[in-house]
Amino acid sequence: MCGIFGCIMKDGKVAPTIHAALKRLEYRGYDSVGEATIDDGKLYVKKDTGKIDEVHERCNLDDLPGRIGIGHTRWATHGAPFQVNAHPHFGCSDPPRIAVVHNGIIENFAELRKELEDAGHLFRSKTDTEVIPHLIEEMLNSRQFAATVNIDSEFINATIAAIGRLQGSYALAIVSTMDPGRIVCARNESPLVLGIADDALYFASDVTAFLPLTNKVIFVENGEFVVLGEDLLEIRRLADGNPISRKTKLVDWSPGMAEKQGYPHFMLKEIHEQPRCLRNTLRLQNKYLGLLPTFLDRAREVIMVACGTSYHACLAASYMFSKLSFLATYPVIASEFAEQHGKSVNIDSTILAVSQSGETADTLSAVETARQRAATILGLTNVVGSTLTRISRVYIGQQSGPEIGVAATKTFTSQLSVLSQLAIQLAKRRGKISQEEIDLLEEKIENIPDIVEGIIETQEEKMRALARKYKTKQSFFFLGRGISYATALEGSLKLMEIAYIPSLAFPAGESKHGPISLITQGFPVIFVCPPDETRRTVVGNIMEMKARGASIIAICEEDDEDIKKLVDDYVEIKRGIPGVLSPIPYVVPLQLFAYYMAIERGCDPDMPRNLAKSVTVK
Ligand code: AGP
């Protein structure tokens, strides 16, 4: 998730406005920043790695001439945070004539890049975005224009033709010395909003960027492009160029609310972002989806190391790798790794380290222990350029965008999506499950974002009601069998860390080996029970708890009438989700339950006491 912004002013210097707007968008990404303005037919650019204040200190982002410009604050997905990978990006011409900023993922960038390189284009960066200016140049050179857009500008027609070649998600903006008074923007999936003031026109990734300047907005929809100029604002459909008229809206958010896009807390915003993040994980580069399974396939032993929520993702992944790829993997809590495996890890070991931040000290320490004994290190992280990406032999980015809430939510489900894709790729390679099963899994994983979207839409109110009903309870059990044990652990951690309620998660089969002694009348027990191979025995566990007076909440499939009639409350998940993928949708109600329990108990979900977003101390 990056932040884009741009504007065209009636008079004055645009650079300070861009700089201030990017500061307001910094929460969307902060590993590099850049601006481009046009003045007197020339393009001026400043960009570098680092947070906005650091780059401003070095380059003075306010010192660019011109009344028209664009800017970008980056969260790296393709290409580590080096200056050359910072936006804006340019084509071949020197001095540059075209500058582009982009938020999203161009899925077909590798093919486009090869096509353009074969046509003689020279690329500077490793980003997917850089294909866009080169493509525009290629359209201009070969005079391929968008047949449907009869705007009096070859540059704009070539730009629309180039955008028509893009696949994937984008909110992008382009300026050029060839049409110095205009900005072209376009949107597919990644957010884009226009701001209208008397003396300027703005575009941005979200309202936060320009809210202090105007609250008159127009939201751009998917498949639309916009041409901004002095006293010019045209919205058209990319498919056929037809103009679209859309009324302005007045936004009554405070700047603080705008950063949360109207949500009361980042945690709730990030729970709601999961469908989009999950779609982004389905756009991983095949290169990496192929490379990691190669290492896993060859490994003599695979140990996964992580902490907290990331450890729960590893635990879930161990069931995926076992059931789909017939690969035994050992999830280990990172702080225990040295004690458990410090002597046995060796050159034949492969370590898969999972860390959203890529900076967790316990995880990095475990990796270092393994590296010293010549193990192969693989990484899964959300932060390209983090320490984990630098010490891994190969890493894969989960592309969730910054997660501001201390409690991991969208990054957990994104990790699970990536890990399940790795398990499926490995299953294909090993041929341990039928092609029919693989086809079904790949179809279902494509549906997961919509399923999660449906759960949020249909079950959020129910979770809020359940939080109200159970808010006085002083402790909870979270139970699951098989892969659902990982889901139960994650639900328990969420409730503990943001609502400060002691809760215990353990395999449902363990209940009779001790924990059931805690059950008294009305003791709340949450069961995660998808209709997988464990369901029959879970029903028995539910009966055990019920017989001792527990109040039972079940997260179960929508058709599961047997479980629904057994329990006190239930949350319905759409039917047909394979067990190995179930943690992704089944955890969402538990995230919402924890969030609303925190609200009911007057806790701050974004800033829970005693916790930090990234634990960089051992
Ligand atoms: C999860 O909600 C917590 N914030 C915490 O357990 C976290 O998952 C853990 O510290 C690991 O962080 P990492 O993924 O950045 O390594």
pTM, to two decimals: 0.83
Atom 3 (ligand 1): residue with closest C-alpha?
A: 407
Burial of 52 (0-12, 13-18, 19+ CB in 10 A): buried
CA 23 to centroid of ligand 1, rounded, Å: 26
- Is the Cβ atom of 270 under 6 angstroms away from ligand 1? no
- Residue positions counted in the chain: 618
Contact yes or no for 601/273 (Cβ under 8 A):
no
- Is the Cβ atom of 356 under 6 angstroms away from ligand 1? yes
Report the nearest atom of ligand 1 relative to the CA of 309.
8
Q: What is the pLDDT of residues 577-617, one digit of tens each?
A: 999 999 999 999 999 999 999 999 999 999 888 777 777 66
What is the structure's pLDDT at 617? 67
- Is the Cβ atom of 415 under 6 angstroms away from ligand 1? no
- Is the Cβ atom of 406 under 6 angstroms away from ligand 1? yes
Nearest to 175 by CA among 135, 229, 131: 229
Distance CA 531, CA 576 (A): 9
CA 364 to centroid of ligand 1, rounded, Å: 13
- List the catalytic residue out of 2, 307, 556, 603: 2
Ranges under pLDDT 50 in the chain? none
Angle ∠(584,585,586) on CA atoms, nearest 5 = 95
What is the structure's pLDDT at 519? 95
CA 357 to centroid of ligand 1, rounded, Å: 8
- Is the Cβ atom of 308 under 6 angstroms away from ligand 1? yes
Domains of the chain, each with CATH number or no CATH: 3-259 (3.60.20.10), 275-600 (3.40.50.10490)
Q: How many CB atoms lie within 10 A of CB 181?
A: 14
> Strand runs (DSSP E) across 512-573, as ranges?
524-529, 551-557, 569-573
- Is the Cβ atom of 192 under 6 angstroms away from ligand 1? no
Report the nearest atom of ligand 1 relative to the CA of 307.
11
- List the catalytic residue out of 59, 323, 613, 618: 613
CA 389 to centroid of ligand 1, rounded, Å: 17
Angle ∠(44,187,284) on CA atoms, nearest 5 = 95
Report the nearest atom of ligand 1 relative to the CA of 308.
6
- Is the Cβ atom of 409 under 6 angstroms away from ligand 1? no
DSSP assignment, residue 220?
A: P
- Is the Cβ atom of 362 under 6 angstroms away from ligand 1? no
What residue has token string 């859309």? Answer: 246
- Is the Cβ atom of 293 under 6 angstroms away from ligand 1? no
- Is the Cβ atom of 363 under 6 angstroms away from ligand 1? yes
Atom 6 (ligand 1): residue with closest C-alpha?
A: 308
What is the structure's pLDDT at 91? 96
CA 409 to centroid of ligand 1, rounded, Å: 10
Atom 7 (ligand 1): residue with closest C-alpha?
A: 308
Distance CA 502, CA 500 (A): 6
- Is the Cβ atom of 492 under 6 angstroms away from ligand 1? no
Among 411, 490, 614, say which to mutate for ligand 1: greatest number of ligand atoms within 8 Å of CB: 614
Distance CA 604, CA 398 (A): 27
Among 307, 382, 414, 492, say which to mutate for ligand 1: greatest number of ligand atoms within 8 Å of CB: 307
- Is the Cβ atom of 314 under 6 angstroms away from ligand 1? no
- Identify whether 2 is a catalytic site residue: yes
Q: Measured in whole angstroms, how far is the alpha carbon of residue 172 from the centre of its chain? A: 18
Q: How many CB atoms lie within 10 A of CB 544?
A: 16
What is the structure's pLDDT at 146? 75
Mean per-residue pLDDT over the chain, rounded = 94
- Is the Cβ atom of 407 under 6 angstroms away from ligand 1? yes
CA 611 to centroid of ligand 1, rounded, Å: 10
What tokens does 338 get? 């040295």
- Is the Cβ atom of 307 under 6 angstroms away from ligand 1? yes
Cis peptide bond N-terminal to 180, omega within 30? no
Q: Bridge partners of 515?
A: none
Atom 16 (ligand 1): residue with closest C-alpha?
A: 355
Q: Bridge partners of 9?
A: 200
Among 265, 267, 270, 310, say which to mutate for ligand 1: greatest number of ligand atoms within 8 Å of CB: 310
- Identify whether 59 is a catalytic site residue: no
